[in-house]
Amino acid sequence: MWMVNSRVSSGARRLAFACFALLVAALFLLPGQIQGLLQYLDGPVGHVVRVPLEAIASIDAGIADRWQQYVVLQGVWEENQQLRKEIEWLRGQNNQLRESATATGRLTTLLQFKEQALPTMVAAQVIGRDATNRYRAIILNKGESDGIKPDMGVITPAGVVGRVVKTTGASSVVLLVTDPNNAIAGLIQRTRDEGIVEGTQQGLAQLKYIPLLSTLRDGDRVVTSGLVGGFPRGLSIGTITHIDKQEGALFQSAELMPEVDVGRVEEVLVIQTSYGQPRKAVVEADLLGKPSP
Protein backbone atom coordinates (compact mmCIF):
# COMPACT_ATOMS: atom_id res chain seq x y z
CA MET A 1 0.00 0.00 0.00
CA TRP A 2 2.81 2.34 0.86
CA MET A 3 4.50 1.60 -2.47
CA VAL A 4 1.31 2.43 -4.37
CA ASN A 5 0.88 5.73 -2.52
CA SER A 6 4.52 6.60 -3.20
CA ARG A 7 4.13 5.97 -6.93
CA VAL A 8 0.93 8.02 -7.07
CA SER A 9 2.60 10.89 -5.19
CA SER A 10 5.62 10.80 -7.52
CA GLY A 11 3.37 10.79 -10.61
CA ALA A 12 1.36 13.70 -9.24
CA ARG A 13 4.50 15.70 -8.62
CA ARG A 14 5.70 15.10 -12.15
CA LEU A 15 2.38 16.12 -13.57
CA ALA A 16 2.28 19.25 -11.40
CA PHE A 17 5.84 20.15 -12.45
CA ALA A 18 5.00 19.65 -16.12
CA CYS A 19 1.93 21.83 -15.81
CA PHE A 20 3.90 24.52 -14.02
CA ALA A 21 6.63 24.46 -16.67
CA LEU A 22 4.00 24.70 -19.39
CA LEU A 23 2.36 27.60 -17.60
CA VAL A 24 5.65 29.44 -17.16
CA ALA A 25 6.53 28.93 -20.83
CA ALA A 26 3.15 30.24 -21.85
CA LEU A 27 3.53 33.20 -19.52
CA PHE A 28 6.90 34.10 -21.07
CA LEU A 29 5.68 33.64 -24.64
CA LEU A 30 2.27 35.25 -24.27
CA PRO A 31 2.30 37.23 -21.03
CA GLY A 32 0.06 40.00 -22.28
CA GLN A 33 -2.64 37.72 -23.67
CA ILE A 34 -2.71 35.40 -20.63
CA GLN A 35 -2.76 38.29 -18.22
CA GLY A 36 -5.72 39.77 -20.06
CA LEU A 37 -7.48 36.42 -19.88
CA LEU A 38 -6.88 36.04 -16.17
CA GLN A 39 -8.28 39.47 -15.48
CA TYR A 40 -11.72 37.83 -15.86
CA LEU A 41 -10.92 35.19 -13.25
CA ASP A 42 -12.19 35.70 -9.74
CA GLY A 43 -11.56 33.85 -6.56
CA PRO A 44 -8.42 32.52 -4.97
CA VAL A 45 -7.04 30.99 -8.19
CA GLY A 46 -7.15 34.32 -9.99
CA HIS A 47 -5.38 36.12 -7.11
CA VAL A 48 -2.72 33.42 -6.76
CA VAL A 49 -1.93 33.25 -10.47
CA ARG A 50 -2.14 37.01 -11.07
CA VAL A 51 0.82 37.83 -8.77
CA PRO A 52 3.50 35.80 -10.64
CA LEU A 53 1.90 36.75 -13.94
CA GLU A 54 2.22 40.44 -13.22
CA ALA A 55 5.83 39.93 -12.07
CA ILE A 56 6.67 38.08 -15.27
CA ALA A 57 4.95 40.71 -17.38
CA SER A 58 6.92 43.41 -15.57
CA ILE A 59 10.18 41.53 -16.21
CA ASP A 60 9.26 41.12 -19.86
CA ALA A 61 8.50 44.83 -20.20
CA GLY A 62 11.77 45.67 -18.44
CA ILE A 63 13.72 43.44 -20.81
CA ALA A 64 12.04 45.07 -23.79
CA ASP A 65 12.87 48.54 -22.44
CA ARG A 66 16.50 47.57 -21.84
CA TRP A 67 16.77 46.18 -25.34
CA GLN A 68 15.38 49.36 -26.84
CA GLN A 69 17.84 51.39 -24.75
CA TYR A 70 20.72 49.20 -25.93
CA VAL A 71 19.72 49.67 -29.55
CA VAL A 72 19.50 53.44 -29.03
CA LEU A 73 22.87 53.55 -27.21
CA GLN A 74 24.48 51.48 -29.95
CA GLY A 75 23.35 54.05 -32.48
CA VAL A 76 24.61 56.90 -30.28
CA TRP A 77 28.00 55.16 -29.91
CA GLU A 78 28.37 54.78 -33.66
CA GLU A 79 27.38 58.42 -34.14
CA ASN A 80 29.96 59.49 -31.54
CA GLN A 81 32.65 57.51 -33.33
CA GLN A 82 31.79 59.25 -36.59
CA LEU A 83 31.80 62.64 -34.88
CA ARG A 84 35.22 61.92 -33.36
CA LYS A 85 36.62 61.14 -36.80
CA GLU A 86 35.16 64.36 -38.17
CA ILE A 87 36.60 66.36 -35.25
CA GLU A 88 40.06 64.87 -35.82
CA TRP A 89 39.86 65.76 -39.51
CA LEU A 90 38.75 69.31 -38.68
CA ARG A 91 41.61 69.67 -36.20
CA GLY A 92 44.07 68.67 -38.92
CA GLN A 93 42.55 71.20 -41.30
CA ASN A 94 42.65 73.86 -38.56
CA ASN A 95 46.35 73.21 -37.91
CA GLN A 96 47.11 73.56 -41.60
CA LEU A 97 45.14 76.80 -41.80
CA ARG A 98 46.94 78.15 -38.73
CA GLU A 99 50.32 77.30 -40.25
CA SER A 100 49.29 78.99 -43.51
CA ALA A 101 48.10 82.06 -41.61
CA THR A 102 51.34 82.19 -39.61
CA ALA A 103 53.45 81.90 -42.76
CA THR A 104 51.35 84.59 -44.45
CA GLY A 105 51.87 86.89 -41.46
CA ARG A 106 55.63 86.35 -41.53
CA LEU A 107 55.84 87.00 -45.26
CA THR A 108 53.69 90.13 -44.95
CA THR A 109 55.99 91.51 -42.26
CA LEU A 110 59.01 90.61 -44.38
CA LEU A 111 57.63 92.38 -47.46
CA GLN A 112 56.61 95.46 -45.47
CA PHE A 113 60.11 95.69 -44.05
CA LYS A 114 61.56 95.22 -47.53
CA GLU A 115 59.49 98.13 -48.86
CA GLN A 116 60.59 100.42 -46.01
CA ALA A 117 64.30 99.52 -46.14
CA LEU A 118 66.65 101.45 -48.40
CA PRO A 119 68.91 98.63 -49.74
CA THR A 120 67.79 96.43 -52.61
CA MET A 121 66.80 93.05 -51.16
CA VAL A 122 65.37 89.74 -52.30
CA ALA A 123 63.21 87.47 -50.15
CA ALA A 124 64.17 83.81 -49.74
CA GLN A 125 63.08 80.76 -47.77
CA VAL A 126 65.22 78.45 -45.66
CA ILE A 127 65.21 74.99 -47.25
CA GLY A 128 67.99 73.31 -45.29
CA ARG A 129 70.46 73.49 -42.42
CA ASP A 130 74.01 72.27 -42.06
CA ALA A 131 73.89 68.75 -40.63
CA THR A 132 77.64 68.20 -40.14
CA ASN A 133 78.03 70.51 -37.09
CA ARG A 134 81.24 71.83 -38.71
CA TYR A 135 79.55 75.11 -39.55
CA ARG A 136 76.44 76.90 -38.40
CA ALA A 137 74.78 77.57 -41.72
CA ILE A 138 71.45 77.54 -43.53
CA ILE A 139 70.55 76.94 -47.19
CA LEU A 140 68.25 79.29 -49.13
CA ASN A 141 66.06 78.58 -52.14
CA LYS A 142 67.53 81.54 -54.07
CA GLY A 143 70.92 81.69 -55.79
CA GLU A 144 72.93 83.23 -58.61
CA SER A 145 69.96 83.27 -60.99
CA ASP A 146 68.20 85.54 -58.48
CA GLY A 147 71.13 87.93 -58.23
CA ILE A 148 72.58 86.54 -54.98
CA LYS A 149 76.37 86.51 -54.63
CA PRO A 150 78.84 85.57 -51.87
CA ASP A 151 79.44 88.12 -49.06
CA MET A 152 75.91 89.54 -49.28
CA GLY A 153 74.27 90.19 -45.92
CA VAL A 154 71.21 88.19 -44.81
CA ILE A 155 68.66 89.61 -42.38
CA THR A 156 65.09 89.46 -41.06
CA PRO A 157 62.99 92.40 -39.82
CA ALA A 158 64.33 91.57 -36.33
CA GLY A 159 68.00 91.82 -37.25
CA VAL A 160 71.09 90.16 -38.70
CA VAL A 161 71.09 86.46 -39.63
CA GLY A 162 74.47 86.05 -41.34
CA ARG A 163 76.10 86.39 -44.75
CA VAL A 164 76.21 84.40 -47.97
CA VAL A 165 79.37 82.34 -48.39
CA LYS A 166 78.51 80.08 -51.33
CA THR A 167 76.03 80.12 -54.20
CA THR A 168 74.73 77.90 -56.98
CA GLY A 169 72.27 78.72 -59.72
CA ALA A 170 69.20 78.05 -57.54
CA SER A 171 70.47 78.05 -53.93
CA SER A 172 72.90 79.70 -51.54
CA VAL A 173 74.62 78.90 -48.24
CA VAL A 174 74.46 81.43 -45.40
CA LEU A 175 77.02 81.41 -42.59
CA LEU A 176 75.13 82.39 -39.45
CA VAL A 177 76.08 85.17 -37.07
CA THR A 178 76.61 82.50 -34.39
CA ASP A 179 79.37 80.73 -36.39
CA PRO A 180 82.92 81.37 -35.07
CA ASN A 181 84.15 81.78 -38.66
CA ASN A 182 81.87 84.74 -39.27
CA ALA A 183 82.82 88.37 -38.68
CA ILE A 184 80.52 91.39 -38.82
CA ALA A 185 81.50 94.97 -37.97
CA GLY A 186 79.42 95.98 -34.95
CA LEU A 187 78.67 99.18 -33.07
CA ILE A 188 77.55 99.63 -29.47
CA GLN A 189 74.50 101.83 -29.95
CA ARG A 190 74.78 103.76 -26.70
CA THR A 191 78.55 104.41 -26.53
CA ARG A 192 79.24 104.37 -30.32
CA ASP A 193 82.26 102.10 -29.82
CA GLU A 194 83.03 99.65 -32.61
CA GLY A 195 84.13 96.03 -32.58
CA ILE A 196 83.86 92.75 -34.44
CA VAL A 197 80.97 90.36 -33.88
CA GLU A 198 81.89 86.68 -34.08
CA GLY A 199 80.06 83.49 -33.23
CA THR A 200 80.96 81.30 -30.25
CA GLN A 201 81.15 77.55 -29.72
CA GLN A 202 78.07 77.83 -27.48
CA GLY A 203 75.91 79.07 -30.35
CA LEU A 204 75.84 82.70 -29.21
CA ALA A 205 77.96 85.66 -30.33
CA GLN A 206 80.63 87.95 -28.94
CA LEU A 207 81.81 91.49 -29.60
CA LYS A 208 85.61 91.67 -29.72
CA TYR A 209 88.19 94.50 -29.84
CA ILE A 210 86.18 96.96 -27.76
CA PRO A 211 88.33 99.92 -26.58
CA LEU A 212 89.43 99.70 -22.93
CA LEU A 213 87.94 103.11 -22.14
CA SER A 214 84.50 102.15 -23.41
CA THR A 215 81.73 102.45 -20.80
CA LEU A 216 79.67 99.56 -22.17
CA ARG A 217 77.38 97.67 -19.82
CA ASP A 218 75.03 94.72 -19.77
CA GLY A 219 71.89 95.39 -21.79
CA ASP A 220 73.59 97.61 -24.37
CA ARG A 221 72.40 96.91 -27.89
CA VAL A 222 74.88 96.17 -30.68
CA VAL A 223 74.05 97.10 -34.30
CA THR A 224 75.87 96.96 -37.62
CA SER A 225 78.34 99.82 -38.06
CA GLY A 226 77.86 100.11 -41.83
CA LEU A 227 81.50 101.09 -42.31
CA VAL A 228 82.70 97.68 -43.51
CA GLY A 229 80.86 94.49 -44.32
CA GLY A 230 77.76 93.52 -46.25
CA PHE A 231 75.29 95.43 -44.05
CA PRO A 232 74.11 99.03 -43.82
CA ARG A 233 74.36 100.89 -40.52
CA GLY A 234 71.86 100.30 -37.73
CA LEU A 235 70.69 96.73 -38.19
CA SER A 236 70.28 94.97 -34.86
CA ILE A 237 72.78 92.20 -34.05
CA GLY A 238 72.19 91.45 -30.37
CA THR A 239 72.31 92.56 -26.74
CA ILE A 240 75.32 92.48 -24.40
CA THR A 241 74.84 89.93 -21.62
CA HIS A 242 78.35 89.75 -20.10
CA ILE A 243 81.52 91.87 -20.24
CA ASP A 244 85.01 90.37 -20.18
CA LYS A 245 87.73 92.85 -19.20
CA GLN A 246 91.00 91.13 -18.43
CA GLU A 247 93.88 92.87 -16.68
CA GLY A 248 96.68 93.79 -19.07
CA ALA A 249 94.53 93.18 -22.16
CA LEU A 250 94.49 95.74 -24.96
CA PHE A 251 90.75 95.41 -25.58
CA GLN A 252 87.53 94.42 -23.88
CA SER A 253 85.12 91.80 -25.18
CA ALA A 254 81.47 91.10 -24.47
CA GLU A 255 79.06 88.21 -24.93
CA LEU A 256 75.97 88.87 -27.02
CA MET A 257 72.53 87.34 -27.18
CA PRO A 258 71.67 87.43 -30.90
CA GLU A 259 68.54 89.37 -31.76
CA VAL A 260 67.41 86.72 -34.26
CA ASP A 261 66.80 83.13 -33.19
CA VAL A 262 68.75 81.73 -36.13
CA GLY A 263 67.77 78.16 -35.24
CA ARG A 264 64.12 78.90 -36.04
CA VAL A 265 64.29 81.39 -38.89
CA GLU A 266 62.23 80.34 -41.94
CA GLU A 267 62.24 83.36 -44.27
CA VAL A 268 65.00 85.92 -44.79
CA LEU A 269 65.99 88.91 -46.89
CA VAL A 270 69.27 88.99 -48.81
CA ILE A 271 70.81 92.46 -49.19
CA GLN A 272 71.81 92.77 -52.84
CA THR A 273 73.33 96.21 -52.51
CA SER A 274 77.07 95.68 -52.23
CA TYR A 275 78.83 97.03 -49.18
CA GLY A 276 82.20 95.48 -49.98
CA GLN A 277 82.14 92.69 -47.36
CA PRO A 278 85.82 91.91 -46.63
CA ARG A 279 87.21 88.70 -45.25
CA LYS A 280 87.40 88.24 -41.48
CA ALA A 281 91.15 88.84 -41.44
CA VAL A 282 90.68 92.10 -43.35
CA VAL A 283 88.07 93.33 -40.84
CA GLU A 284 90.35 92.56 -37.91
CA ALA A 285 93.32 94.24 -39.57
CA ASP A 286 91.25 97.33 -40.29
CA LEU A 287 90.06 97.68 -36.70
CA LEU A 288 93.50 96.93 -35.24
CA GLY A 289 95.21 99.39 -37.54
CA LYS A 290 97.39 96.76 -39.24
CA PRO A 291 98.11 96.28 -42.95
CA SER A 292 95.53 94.09 -44.66
CA PRO A 293 96.71 90.57 -45.58
Are residues 148 and 99 part of one domain?
A: no
pLDDT of residue 78: 77
CATH of the domain at 130: 2.40.10.350
Are residues 133 and 60 part of one domain?
A: no
pLDDT tens, 125-161? 999 988 666 789 999 999 999 999 999 999 998 899 9
Query: Between these two residues, 167 and 229, which has the higher pLDDT value?
Result: 167
**Domain range for residue 187?**
121-293
Question: Given a cut of 60, is residue 116 above it in pLDDT?
Answer: no
Number of domains in the chain: 2
Are residues 161 and 101 part of one domain?
A: no
Q: For residues 205-210, give the mean pLDDT.
A: 95
Are residues 132 and 267 part of one domain?
A: yes
pLDDT tens, 238-273? 999 999 988 888 999 999 999 999 989 999 999 987
Angle at 288 between CA 271 and CA 135, to 5 degrees: 50
pLDDT tens, 56-86? 556 656 666 666 666 667 677 777 777 777 7
Are residues 282 and 261 part of one domain?
A: yes
116, 141, 156 - which closes a domain? 116
Work out the percent of the chain whose per-residue pLDDT is above 70.
57
Are residues 102 and 143 part of one domain?
A: no
51, 84, 116 - which closes a domain? 116
116, 133, 149 - which closes a domain? 116
Are residues 31 and 79 part of one domain?
A: yes
Question: Given a cut of 50, is residue 276 above it in pLDDT?
Answer: no
Are residues 139 and 85 part of one domain?
A: no
Contact 182, 199 (CB under 8 A): yes
Burial of residue 65, with CB atoms counted within 10 A of its CB: 0-12 exposed, 13-18 middle, 19 or more buried: exposed
Distance (Å, rounded) from C-alpha 149 to C-alpha 228? 17
pTM: 0.58
Are residues 143 and 58 part of one domain?
A: no
Beta-carbon contacts of 106 under 8 Å, excluding residues fewer than 6 positions away, are: 266, 267
Are residues 161 and 85 part of one domain?
A: no
Question: Given a cut of 90, is residue 29 above it in pLDDT?
Answer: no
234 band by pLDDT with thresholds 50, 70 and 90: confident
